[in-house]
């Protein structure tokens, strides 16, 4: 089995593709894919907030990825360095599923983040919950979520 490797900025387009094709309810169009890839490439650079592990496909491109976005929280006994991560994407190309790639990539990412001092992990899971439970995630009934866009301004501001 291929060993997961730390992603670089050069992997951003493939990570964006895997996320779009395998996670999102509607795949992104080319313009949004390009925007995501550009922003992710910057965030994967040294000093950026993104961390990802990937499994290369023998056919070129990526077979699987696990992407986390690190963010600061106020320190507390359970997160003394004040670091948290939102696991933003765990995806495997359909032709490479059921080979353990996603689990290997996510386990490598979690180990890397633990080494960096992250102790609070957040994940929004769908149908792959058993994978996440095997790695120590637990459901949290207290989670609430909202998407909020700025209200459109009516009339002219005079």
Q: Write down the pLDDT at residue 105.
A: 98
Q: At what angle do helices 12-22 and 30-43 cross, to 10 degrees?
A: 130
Q: Write down the pLDDT at residue 33.
A: 97
Task: Pick left, alpha or beta for residue 21 (phi over 0 → left; psi -120 to 50 → alpha; otherwise beta).
Answer: alpha
Mean pLDDT of 59-78: 96
Mean pLDDT of 75-99: 95
**158 has a pLDDT exceeding 70:** no
Query: Which tokens hold the place of 16?
Result: 């964006």
């Amino acid at each position: 089995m291929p060993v997961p490797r730390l992603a670089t900025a050069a992997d951003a387009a493939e990570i964006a593709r895997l996320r779009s094709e395998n996670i999102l309810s509607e795949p992104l169009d080319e313009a949004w894919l390009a925007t995501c890839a550009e922003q992710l490439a910057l965030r994967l650079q040294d000093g950026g907030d993104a961390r990802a592990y990937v499994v290369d496909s023998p056919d070129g491109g990526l077979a699987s990825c696990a992407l986390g976005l690190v963010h600061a929280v106020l320190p507390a006994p359970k997160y003394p360095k004040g670091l948290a991560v939102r696991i933003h994407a765990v995806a495997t190309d359909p032709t490479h599923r059921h080979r353990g790639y996603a689990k290997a990539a996510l386990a490598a990412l979690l180990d890397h983040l633990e080494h960096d001092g992250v102790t609070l992990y957040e994940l929004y899971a769908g149908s792959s919950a058993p994978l996440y439970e095997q790695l120590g995630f637990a459901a949290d009934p207290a989670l609430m979520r909202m998407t909020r866009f700025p209200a459109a301004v009516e009339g002219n501001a005079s």
